[in-house]
Amino acid sequence: MPSGLSDTAALQGAAADSARRKRAYARHYWPFVVPAAVVVFAVIVFPWVFTLWMSLQEWKLGSGRSFVGLANYQRLLTDDRFHWSILRTLYFTALAVVIPVVLGIAAALIFNRKFPLRGLMRTVFILPMMATPVAVALVWTMMFHPQLGVLNWILSQFGIPPSMWVYDQSTVIPTLVLVEVWHWTPLVMLLVLGGLASLPVDPYEAAKIDGATGWQAFRYITLPLLAPFIMVAVIIRTIDALKAFDTIYVITQGGPGTASETINIFLYLNAFAYYNMGYASAVVVVFFALIIGLALLLLWSRERFKDAVR
């Protein structure tokens, strides 16, 4: 047989073997894929499709449903209470991200140094993160009491007038942020501390030989190398702050008045206090779009941050 024909037969045989292997692989592949696809559809796809469908309905629990199209979304456009809930959410999120990240980086830089009882101090620093949000909220609620709270007693020892804390509309959001800072700064510290532990030593030795100051070493070596870890901390804190509900609800229930009514509290009240499921579903859809927008903004900011620290 000519060599050309033998080569062609060999290629055809290899192609047939490959096709048989693919068919056999497909037979063994689908039994694993189908259950996972069913779970994803049941847990993620179906709830979102159902939520979109509900957002097009006028539906209060205990009464019938009626299709209203985009009426719920049109109502959101003119609902000042919803607009203020978005602004409060963004205000709360900005403070609850920036302050813990800055303090967490500072704490990581401190705990990365060697000093007596460093291990004990690290343990004490991360203890707040171990508590559940509801327990934290209950403890801080007692501390915020205008007459019986320990915080106003501490202020009085320094001659500072007492504060109304969460009972004043002008201070309620910053006070709630104080709880978030106390609770979640240790998480940022741990993330950044892990980054500091992985940094190479050679760039610092070269910078020392070149006469670089401590600030220059931090600005041009530490900060660029820590940028991925800092962005992870920012993303995690942004997600946590956006979905913050239990702490706010336990401490203020959205009050005084609606001064601390974030979009999560607004959504909860419409769904489970006013039983307006259709309107609440429209809020969920808009909130999801807001989260997608913030996610894209974070991705853009990450690239700008990487360029800025280079």
SS3 60: strand
- The two tokens of residue 122 are 């690290």
Angle at the Cα of 267 from the Cα atoms of 262 and 272, rounded to 5 degrees? 130
Residue from 309, 265, 296 nearest 283 by CA = 265
pTM of the model: 0.85
For range 100-113, the mean pLDDT: 93
Q: At what angle do helices 263-272 and 277-308 cross, to 10 degrees?
A: 160
Residue with tokens 């009464």: 63
Q: Which residues pair with 57 in a beta bridge?
A: 67
Q: What is the pLDDT of residues 224-264, one digit of tens each?
A: 889 889 988 998 999 899 989 999 999 999 999 999 999 99
Eight-state DSSP code of residue 256:
S
Q: What pLDDT digit, counting tens, does each position of 67-80 carry? A: 999 999 999 999 99
Helix (H) or strand (E) holding 66: strand 65-67
The predicted-structure confidence for 160-211, as pLDDT tens digits, reads as follows 999 999 999 999 999 999 999 999 999 999 999 999 988 888 888 888 888 8
Token pair belonging to 90: 């963004």
- Per-residue pLDDT at 16 exceeds 70: no
Residue type, 292: I
Residues listed for the chain: 310
Give the per-residue pLDDT at 292: 87
**Which helix (H) or strand (E) element contains residue 290?**
helix 277-308
**What's the chain's Rg over C-alpha atoms?**
28
Residue whose pair of structure tokens reads 């997608």 in the numeric block: 292
Give the model's pLDDT for residue 111.
92
Does residue 221 contact residue 237 with C-beta atoms inside 8 Å?
no
Distance from C-alpha of 38 to C-alpha of 3, rounded to nearest angstrom? 52
Give 132-135's long-range contacts (Cβ < 8 A, gap of 24+).
133/183, 133/246, 133/247, 133/250, 134/246, 134/247, 134/250
pLDDT of residue 1: 47
| Exposure on the CB side of residue 9, measured as CA atoms within 13 A | 6
pLDDT at residue 303 in the model: 75
**Whether 284 contacts 51, CB under 8 Å:** yes
- Are 143 and 151 in contact by the 8 Å Cβ rule? The answer is yes
Cα–Cα distance for residue pair 235/61, rounded to 1 Å: 36
Q: What is the pLDDT at residue 136? A: 94
